[in-house]
């Protein structure tokens, strides 16, 4: 049987395009003792994968010629380990390929929750990131004004809905009028600000007349700077991601309001990785599924079809095409 | 009797110089009902006063033609309030003048601790800022590597010694070899890094092989950026001041490592103002005086003589001339 892969043939100097990838075919691999053969069901697309091309981050950097890295929801096809059996589901680094052989000891069996795509969105990295980032790092209180950037994205669309459940006034920042309209009409945001409209600082001020108590930052850059200028006294900033910095040759300068605004407003700023909350995931999934089942959280997903769409799916994600978690259904 | 003042005749466009001030004389003012007449004993010099010239911060901005703003340790000469009596000491905004009339209700009588200059340094704003900033915001643990910028300054020289008392390894950043030598030889720092030597990033890395657990930032700018790059996982940054940004036309770009490093290293960053710890000062002064009396803290002060030295004293402070709190003895 044939395996298919995408390789990163050249590292992008500026914006990423589909030309940086090359599709190849090889024989399907065979697992050795202690390994399992996985078949990819859904490949998760993540803006952070553009950052891996800049060098080491929370994982090793990518070099030209590498198999493109990425996480997927995958099913065990063949097992040479007592830990896992055919049919078991896992979420792991497989790279961009249809079949992958992985050491079984690195894998944890997932519950089979339907639809399976929810294991990539609300019960996966984005849902858990939104949950721990907002609640543990942001410490929102009822009545707080909570601002979320990339609010239509995988993490932002969930973080905003959790903030709403916690009794906060929620303002989303997104690109374009259509996305902003969707935030208020369908995802329960109280207000939305279009960062592409060219008047972010003032528009944010109008949307947050009492200042921002919690800012959940997915973008960094100018959006972070505008939020710094609008923070309320004793506000909290959650540094989750910096997607504005990823798809470029070198990261830009930092926000000019840091550290000045942090001092003047006695801000608490917390960066985090999901890894920091290992061991607390069961509690989070239990609470999230409660909200999903009662309809308090509307799960948005952006599912593209077919392995070959991976390069354009990532390029489009970096351009902000998606609402909710973007993933590619491979099988 | 004659009063003397310094006015800020023009706002500096770039670096501050003594030419921006003008000395004037008027009649000594007379207090009305509810007011007191104060005589300045020590004028406190602070780099933040240069920031006031950029506009509103935690206080209103300064405009050209204003009496130069500043805090001083002053003695009540004449009182028309039952709250204060002649001979009482206060620390308050008097502006740069020898005599000032102030509403008594804004004032708190200080204990008469000798030498009186200690009420401006270790028991005043710098000592309390170092105490609350390091201990409450930085949360140092024994064995932590603590880095302090502007380490020879009023706040830094005290914060470093407190960190040492708490069992930390303390690294100071200062400008010039002489100041660095003084940090290790006289103020108990374990190591010192000269930011003027041109190799800050690498020198910091050598001085902090396990990374920085707590960074107490007095400077902002490039020094903050270099520390961001050297933080340990779960490190804390205390944003106290940003003196590198004050003496310039407009603040520079922010550190390029923010928010990226904050995310990758799960950092907690806290800005604060001394005002946040109102009501806890008595406890702090009690603990600080214990350390001073047992010789665990060496109090460095930089006392200049005479009212007329105020402009050059501030210009020199911004250039980093001082070790310990700079003040001008007026009477």
Confidence of residue A296 (pLDDT cuts 50, 70, 90): very high
Q: Is the pLDDT of residue B111 over 80?
A: yes
Model-level ipTM above the cut of 0.85: yes
Q: Write the pLDDT tens digit of every residue in B157-179.
A: 999 999 999 999 999 999 999 99
**Across the interface, do A268 and B273 touch by the CB < 8 Å criterion?**
no
From CA A48, how far away is CA A42, in angstroms rounded? 17
Q: How many CA atoms lie within 13 A of B96 on its CB side?
A: 28
Q: Write the pLDDT tens digit of every residue in B265-278.
A: 999 999 999 999 98
Minimal Cα–Cα distance from B229 to chain A, Å?
A: 12
Tell me which of A52-56, B22-26, B112-116, B295-299 is least confident. A52-56
Q: SS3 string of B77-112?
A: EEECCCCCCCCCEEEEECCCECEEEEEHHHCCCECC
Q: Does B242 touch chain A if contact means CB atoms closer than 8 Å?
A: yes
Q: Is the pLDDT of residue A194 over 90?
A: yes
Question: CA nearest A272 in B: which residue?
Answer: B266
Crossing angle of helices B221-229/B200-207, nearest 10°?
A: 50
Question: CA nearest A224 in B: which residue?
Answer: B259
From CA B297, how far away is CA B300, in angstroms rounded? 9
Q: Return the pLDDT at B56.
A: 85
DSSP letter (8 states) at residue A165: H
Over range A80-107, report the average pLDDT: 96
**Across the interface, do A269 and B270 touch by the CB < 8 Å criterion?**
yes
Yes or no: say if A118 and A128 are a contact pair by the CB < 8 Å rule: no
State the residue for tokens 């007026």.
B330
Query: Is A192 strand, coil or helix?
Result: strand
Q: Return the pLDDT at B251.
A: 67
Enumerate residues 6+ apart whose C-beta is below 8 A from B223: B149, B173, B195, B200, B217, B244
Q: Does B260 touch chain A if contact means CB atoms closer than 8 Å?
A: yes
Q: Return the pLDDT at A110.
A: 94
How big is the A-B interface in CB pairs under 8 Å? 109
pTM of the model: 0.93
Q: Does A267 touch chain B if contact means CB atoms closer than 8 Å?
A: yes
Yes or no: say if A262 and B239 are a contact pair by the CB < 8 Å rule: yes
A252 vs A156: which has the higher pLDDT: A156
Token reading at B306: 């005479």
Token reading at B311: 């402009």
From CA A31, how far away is CA A100, in angstroms rounded? 9
DSSP letter (8 states) at residue B5: E
Q: Does A249 touch chain B if contact means CB atoms closer than 8 Å?
A: no
Q: Is the pLDDT of residue A244 over 90?
A: no
Best interface-test mutation with A: which of B263, B268, B270, B275 has the largest number of A CBs within 10 A?
A: B263
Q: Write the pLDDT tens digit of every residue in A281-292.
A: 999 999 999 999
Over range B108-122, report the average pLDDT: 95
**Across the interface, do B260 and A245 touch by the CB < 8 Å criterion?**
yes
Q: Return the pLDDT at A248.
A: 76
* Chain B contact set for A256 (CB, 8 A): 251-254
Q: Return the pLDDT at A32.
A: 97
* Chain B contact set for A241 (CB, 8 A): 263
Q: Considering only the beta carbons, identify the residue of A254, A256, A259 that sits closest to B271.
A: A259
DSSP letter (8 states) at residue B69: P
Q: Does B322 touch chain A if contact means CB atoms closer than 8 Å?
A: no
Question: What percentage of chain B has pLDDT greater than the value 70?
Answer: 100
What one-character-per-residue DSSP string does B283-299 give? HHHHHHHHHHHTTSS--
| H or E segment to which residue A128 belongs | helix A125-132
Over range B241-251, report the average pLDDT: 80
Q: Is the pLDDT of residue B247 over 90?
A: no
Token reading at A214: 């919690």
Could you tell me the domains of chain B? Answer: 2-121+300-329 (3.90.180.10), 125-275 (3.40.50.720)
Kind of pairing between the strands at B71-79 and B35-44 = antiparallel
Token reading at A209: 């007349």
Q: Does B150 touch chain A if contact means CB atoms closer than 8 Å?
A: no
Q: Write the pLDDT tens digit of every residue in A18-59.
A: 999 999 999 999 999 999 999 999 999 999 899 899 888 888
Question: What percentage of chain B has pLDDT greater than the value 90?
Answer: 91
Q: Is the pLDDT of residue B252 over 80?
A: no
pLDDT, averaged across chain B: 95
From CA B255, how far away is CA A255, in angstroms rounded? 7
**Across the interface, do B256 and A261 touch by the CB < 8 Å criterion?**
no
* Chain A contact set for B239 (CB, 8 A): 259, 262-263
From CA B248, how far away is CA B232, in angstroms rounded? 31
Q: Return the pLDDT at A253.
A: 82
User: Burial, A49: exposed, middle or buried (Cβ in 10 Å; 0-12, 13-18, 19+)?
Assistant: buried
State the residue for tokens 């002064």.
B285
Confidence of residue A251 (pLDDT cuts 50, 70, 90): low
**Across the interface, do A258 and B254 touch by the CB < 8 Å criterion?**
yes
Q: Write the pLDDT tens digit of every residue in B291-312.
A: 999 999 999 999 999 999 999 9
Q: Does B232 touch chain A if contact means CB atoms closer than 8 Å?
A: no
| H or E segment to which residue A164 belongs | helix A154-165
**Across the interface, do A251 and B260 touch by the CB < 8 Å criterion?**
yes
* Chain A contact set for B257 (CB, 8 A): 254
Phi, psi of B119 (to 5 degrees): -70, -15
Confidence of residue A247 (pLDDT cuts 50, 70, 90): confident
Over range B131-148, report the average pLDDT: 98
**Across the interface, do A259 and B252 touch by the CB < 8 Å criterion?**
no
Q: Return the pLDDT at B245.
A: 84
**Across the interface, do A260 and B245 touch by the CB < 8 Å criterion?**
yes
From CA A250, how far away is CA A246, in angstroms rounded? 8
Question: What percentage of chain A has pLDDT greater than the value 70?
Answer: 100
What one-character-per-residue DSSP string does A33-45 give? TTEEEEEEEEEEP
């Amino acid at each position: 049987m044939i395996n298919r892969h995408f390789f990163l043939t050249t590292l992008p100097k500026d914006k990423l395009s589909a030309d940086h990838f090359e599709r190849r075919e090889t024989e399907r691999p065979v697992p050795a003792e202690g390994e399992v053969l996985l078949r990819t069901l859904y490949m998760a697309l993540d803006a952070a994968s553009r950052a891996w091309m800049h060098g080491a981050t929370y994982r090793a950097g990518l070099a030209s010629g590498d198999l493109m890295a990425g996480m997927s929801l995958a099913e065990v096809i063949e097992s040479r380990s007592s830990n896992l059996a055919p049919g078991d589901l896992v979420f792991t680094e497989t790279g961009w390929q249809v079949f992958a052989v992985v050491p079984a000891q690195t894998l944890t069996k997932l519950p089979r929750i339907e639809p399976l795509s929810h294991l990539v969105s609300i019960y996966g990295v984005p849902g858990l990131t939104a949950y721990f980032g907002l609640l543990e790092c942001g410490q929102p209180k009822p009545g707080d004004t909570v601002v979320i950037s990339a609010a239509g994205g995988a993490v932002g669309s969930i973080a905003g809905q959790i903030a709403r459940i916690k009794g906060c006034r929620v303002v989303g920042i997104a690109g374009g009028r259509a996305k902003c309209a969707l935030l208020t009409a369908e995802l329960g945001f109280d207000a939305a600000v279009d960062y592409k409209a060219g008047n972010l600082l003032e528009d944010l001020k109008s949307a947050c007349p009492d200042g921002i108590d919690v800012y959940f930052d997915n973008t960094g850059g100018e959006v972070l700077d505008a939020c710094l200028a609008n923070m309320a006294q004793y506000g909290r900033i959650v540094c989750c991601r910096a997607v504005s910095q990823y798809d470029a040759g070198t990261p830009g300068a930092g926000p000019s309001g840091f550290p000045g605004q942090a001092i003047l407003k006695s801000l608490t700023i917390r960066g985090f990785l999901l890894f920091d909350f290992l061991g607390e995931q069961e509690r989070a999934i239990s609470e999230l599924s409660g909200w999903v089942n009662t309809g308090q959280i509307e799960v948005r997903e952006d599912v593209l079809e077919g392995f070959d769409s991976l390069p354009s799916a990532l390029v489009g994600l970096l351009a902000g095409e998606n609402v909710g978690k973007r993933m590619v259904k491979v099988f």
